[in-house]
Structure 1
Amino acid sequence: MSEQDLRERAHNVDVTVWVGKSGLEPVVDELSDQLRDRDLVKVKFLRAARGGTTTEELAKDLADRVSAELIETRGHTAVFHR
């Protein structure tokens, strides 16, 4: 499946993981579990999680931690695929 196809499918996916003030660590296992069950997972990065970093930096870091592909970031939301 092409990245364009994944992006189009991601449009209809609801956010199921939220990253808050505790940072990435608490959501790594949850995201891994969801990626096992689903093709695409959408993650929202709340203001408290961002601190001095960008959503893109956080999303890339999270993708590395769960061995997933970062499909896109839009605003403060990212879509992951495994």
Structure 2
Amino acid sequence: MSDELREEAHDVEVTVWVGKNGIEAVVDELQDQLRNETLVKVKFLRSARGTDDTETLAGELADRVNAELIETRGHTAVLH
């Protein structure tokens, strides 16, 4: 299933941006989008990353919204 979702994720546009206010600032918006969409692509801006890598932040965000982390690539993550 994850391979199919990864393939599908290729065409998904980024709809959530995590900036200097961190993952807490996007939790509600991301939950809303996940109710309506199969996949949501999240971009972690430099100001959000600090010393953490994208994989770590994406994992924390997935846990917060009870979602599955499908993949990370560069500074972008796809959640299901």
| Whole-angstrom CA distance in 1 between matches of 2:64 and 2:30 | 10
Residue type of the partner of 1:41? Answer: V
| Whole-angstrom CA distance in 1 between matches of 2:22 and 2:64 | 13
* Unaligned stretches of 5+ residues in structure 1: none
Residue type of the partner of 1:37? Answer: N
| Whole-angstrom CA distance in 1 between matches of 2:29 and 2:54 | 19
Residue type of the partner of 1:61? Answer: E
The sequence identity of aligned pairs, in percent, is 71
TM-score, reference length from structure 2 = 0.99
Q: Which residue of 1 aligns with 2:75?
A: 76
| Whole-angstrom CA distance in 2 between matches of 1:6 and 1:52 | 29
Q: Which residue of 1 aligns with 2:39?
A: 40
Consecutive aligned runs of 4 or more in structure 1 exceeding 2 Å deviation: none
- C-alpha displacement at 1:62, in angstroms? 0.1
* Unaligned stretches of 5+ residues in structure 2: none
Q: Which residue of 2 aligns with 1:24?
A: 23
- C-alpha displacement at 1:13, in angstroms? 0.1
The count of aligned residue pairs is 80
- C-alpha displacement at 1:30, in angstroms? 0.4
TM-score, reference length from structure 1 = 0.97
